[in-house]
Structure formats: C-alpha cells, structure tokens
C-alpha cells in the first residue's frame, strides 16, 4: 500500500520513527502509510485489547503469563481421582499427587518416610501399609519394652491406618527388617528338642542338630562335682581321686595312707584298699593283691609298714592273666625286714603299663606288719561274686626263695584278718 493521508489531526503527540520529528497533538498534517503503520504497532504493543475470532500462530508468537483464571471452564481438573479420564483436560499438581499417593497406598507399595532415632526408645509412628522408616540410631522401637533395633534396620508398616503406639499396642502391625546381619548364625528348618547344636562346615555361620541329646540334670564344668552312672572312661589320666569303687578297677583314696604309712601316702594301693591293721604274717606264705595302674609310668619305691621286725622278705610283681596272677615281671630278691615302728622303703626301677597287675610278698619269719583291713580289696576276676564284700586279698603256701610265674596257681581267699596280705604301696 502507498500514498498519503492528508489533514490528519493527532490526539496525542507522536515521534516520527523515520525523521525523528515530534508531531504535537492537535496539529493537522499529512502522513504516509509507513508512518501510520509504525505508530499503530507501537500503540498496540503497550495497550490492552480484546481479540475476537482471531487466530494466534504459535510459530511466530509467544504467549506468556496466562493465569489459570483465563482458561476456559472445565479445562483445569482438580479431581484427585482423575475420574474424567479425558484428553481435553489438564490435571492440577495437587490432583496428580493425590492420585499417585492413593495408588501407592492401594497396592501397599514401599514408601520411604524418613529416619527414626531410636536411642530414646520412641513409640511406632502413625502409618499405613507400605510406609517404611530407617533406623538412624540404635535403641528400641515401641517404647522401653519395645523391640531392639540397630542402625540401618528398616521398619515396615503392615496395616493401613495404624496408630502411633508401643510394641504391645501396635507392634503386631509392623515388621522389622534387619540389614546389618554380618556374622549372624542361621540354623536348620527343624531340630530335636534338647539336642546340642554344632557348627556345620567352617564358615562359623551355620549350625546343625548334632543328634546328641544333652545329659539330664545340671551340666558341670571341669571344676564341678558330678556323679557319673554307667559311664565308660577310656584312656586319659585320673588325678586327685577321692572316692572310686573297687569293682570298676580304680584306685582307692590315697590320702588315708599318709597317716597309715608315716607320711608316705602318695602311692599306689591295692584295689579297694583304704584301711589297715597290724597283723603277724605267716612264714612260707605268698600274699598277693591286685593293683590297677592308671597310666604308663615307672615306679621307684615300694613301701611297707613294720610293727615288729624279723627275718627277710621278697617282693614280686606279676602281670594280670584274665583276672588272675600271670607272668613274673619283677623279683626284688631277699631283703631284710626293717626296724620296728617305721615305714620301710624298698628302691626299685620298674616301668609298668596302664592296667591291672598283681603285687605280693613272701617271708621267711613272722614279723608284724600293717595288713589290709578293708573288705573287698584286691579282688580277682574269679571272685567277683557274693564273696567280694569279705575279700581282703589272696595267699598260698610258698617256700621262701626266687619268685616265678603264677599262671594257673591256686590261691586261697583271705577273709580273716589273720590271713590278710601286708599292705604294699608303690610310688
């Protein structure tokens, strides 16, 4: 378009964008179309106007700062259920959040709600199923009587609309997921009640049912006292014994010998022996009793207690032959009976293996010696019967001289004190 507009009177003053001339209001003047177009654009850039039935191209225009109130009715949807399910509506931020939260609650999805400091033993918080909290400081959850939790454990609510409360009140509505289980020990799916648990493998983290039941009664330690019934002790060394039954092949108490033998009490005694009495022995008689050696050892002394001296003796050691004297192990040779009222030590050096042996003595005179007075002493296998309670030992006639094997020899049971064997101790 070209040409001019003549005699145009302006209401407001304008500045010619081309020439810079200021045209004052109320002045009539001719203008060309280019000037009018420029002024018009300037006016509309700052004025407010209502467009009707106009199309604004988004490709060449930018529309900004449109308030929600300018949207057509029904465009903004604030329904938290999004029930309209429409492609021509815009959901508000709050509607979207409400909808998502409701969906998470509906499927009990894990929803991290934050941390809980359990150092002061707080109650469980109010929560719904799926709400999850992390323990930031170890302590108890659910009050002072609540469950113990450690750093990193997770608290998971199981029931919708669970109120805040103690372990007793709402604890059943929560699960505690332990996360710090390094070194934790796990066990089998089932076991026998009362059986001892043992480790399975070498990890130190898996236990198993040992198949062994714990003994009834109080379990004792190495320094405690306990009576064992019908038990077999295999090998090992028994020390500091104070009371053991003779029929089981153990040594009788040693401590009484300190007074009987003038202080030499730490010695091996006949099986079942604990007391003695002074008796006059018979010359030409071999007295013998059974002993039990607790472990392989070498003996260096044999003791006897002399009341009245006289003559000579020989001491012998025999192996055990199925509960009776067997092969000769040691012969002391002829030794003079010592002085009256004293313990007589006889030096030897004899290694003996653990197990039963027979020790005896023979005399060529009639000295008075400390003899066995404990019924049930030194019994052999052939006499473990009703006569056991009366046995003091064994004897047979024997001409004083060199000793030999006693396999198959017949001995008489010593029941009367007058026939009791002299007490011989080995140390």
Question: Which residue matches tokens 């289980």?
Answer: 181
In this prediction the pTM is 0.41
* Domains of the chain as residue ranges with CATH: 8-41 (no CATH), 76-106 (no CATH), 111-177 (no CATH), 246-426 (2.60.120.380)
Query: Within 10 Å of residue 10's Cβ, how many Cβ atoms?
Result: 15
- 398 neighbors 406 (Cβ within 8 angstroms): no
Q: What does the DSSP assignment read for 207-276? A: EEEEEEEPPSS----TTS-----S----SS---S-----GGGT-PPPSTTHHHHTTT--SSB--TT---E
d(CA 417, CA 422): 10
Beta-carbon-side half-sphere exposure of residue 171 (alpha carbons within 13 Å): 15
- 70 neighbors 51 (Cβ within 8 angstroms): no
d(CA 41, CA 348): 139
Per-position pLDDT tens, the chain of length 427: 455 555 555 555 656 555 666 655 555 555 565 666 665 665 555 666 677 777 777 677 777 777 777 777 778 888 877 888 888 788 888 988 888 877 766 666 678 899 999 999 999 999 988 899 999 999 999 999 999 998 989 999 999 899 999 999 999 999 998 876 666 778 888 888 888 888 888 888 888 988 888 777 666 666 666 666 666 666 665 555 444 333 333 333 333 333 333 333 345 666 556 677 889 999 999 999 888 888 888 888 888 889 999 999 999 999 998 888 999 999 999 999 988 878 888 889 999 998 889 999 999 999 999 888 876 655 544 443 444 556 788 899 999 999 999 999 998 888 888 888 888 888 7
CA 83 to chain centre: 59
Which two tokens mark 128? Answer: 């719904």
Which two tokens mark 173? Answer: 């509505």
């Amino acid at each position: 378009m070209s040409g001019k507009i003549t005699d145009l009177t302006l209401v407001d003053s304008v500045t010619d964008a081309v020439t810079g001339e200021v045209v004052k209001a109320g002045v009539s003047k001719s203008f060309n179309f280019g000037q009018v177009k420029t002024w018009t654009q300037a006016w509309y850039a700052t004025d407010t106007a209502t467009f009707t039935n106009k199309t604004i191209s988004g490709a060449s225009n930018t529309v900004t700062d449109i308030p929600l109130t300018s949207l057509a009715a029904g465009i903004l949807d604030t329904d938290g259920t999004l029930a309209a399910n429409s492609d021509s509506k815009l959901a508000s931020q709050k509607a979207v959040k409400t909808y998502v939260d409701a969906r998470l609650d509906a499927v009990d999805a894990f929803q991290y709600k934050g941390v809980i400091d359990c150092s002061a033993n707080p109650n469980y918080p109010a929560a719904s199923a799926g709400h999850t909290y992390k323990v930031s400081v170890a302590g108890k959850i659910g009050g002072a009587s609540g469950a113990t939790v450690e750093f990193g454990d997770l608290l998971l609510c199981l029931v919708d609309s669970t109120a805040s409360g103690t372990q007793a009140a709402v604890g059943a509505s929560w699960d505690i997921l332990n996360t710090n289980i390094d070194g934790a020990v796990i066990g089998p799916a089932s076991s026998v009640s009362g059986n001892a648990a043992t480790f399975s493998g070498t990890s130190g983290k898996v236990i198993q049912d040992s198949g062994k039941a714990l003994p009834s009664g109080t379990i004792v330690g190495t320094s405690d006292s306990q009576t064992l019934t019908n038990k077999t002790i295999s090998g090992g060394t028994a020390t500091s014994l104070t009371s053991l039954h003779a029929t089981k092949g153990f040594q009788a108490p040693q401590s009484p010998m300190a007074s009987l033998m003038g202080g030499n009490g730490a010695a091996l005694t006949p099986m079942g022996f604990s007391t003695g009495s002074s008796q006059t022995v018979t010359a030409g008689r071999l007295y013998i009793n059974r002993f039990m050696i607790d472990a392989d050892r070498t003996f260096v002394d044999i003791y006897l207690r002399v009341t009245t001296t006289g003559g000579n003796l020989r001491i012998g050691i025999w192996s055990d032959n199925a509960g009776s004297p067997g092969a000769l192990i040691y012969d002391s040779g002829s030794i003079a009976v010592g002085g009256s009222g004293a313990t007589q030590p006889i030096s030897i050096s004899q290694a003996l293996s653990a197990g039963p042996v027979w020790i005896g003595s023979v005399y060529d005179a009639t000295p008075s010696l400390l003899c066995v007075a404990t019924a049930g002493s030194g019994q052999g296998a052939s006499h473990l019967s009703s006569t056991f309670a009366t046995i003091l030992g064994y004897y047979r006639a024997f001409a004083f001289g060199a000793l030999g094997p006693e396999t198959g020899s017949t001995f008489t049971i010593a029941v009367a004190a007058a026939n009791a064997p002299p007490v011989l101790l080995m140390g």
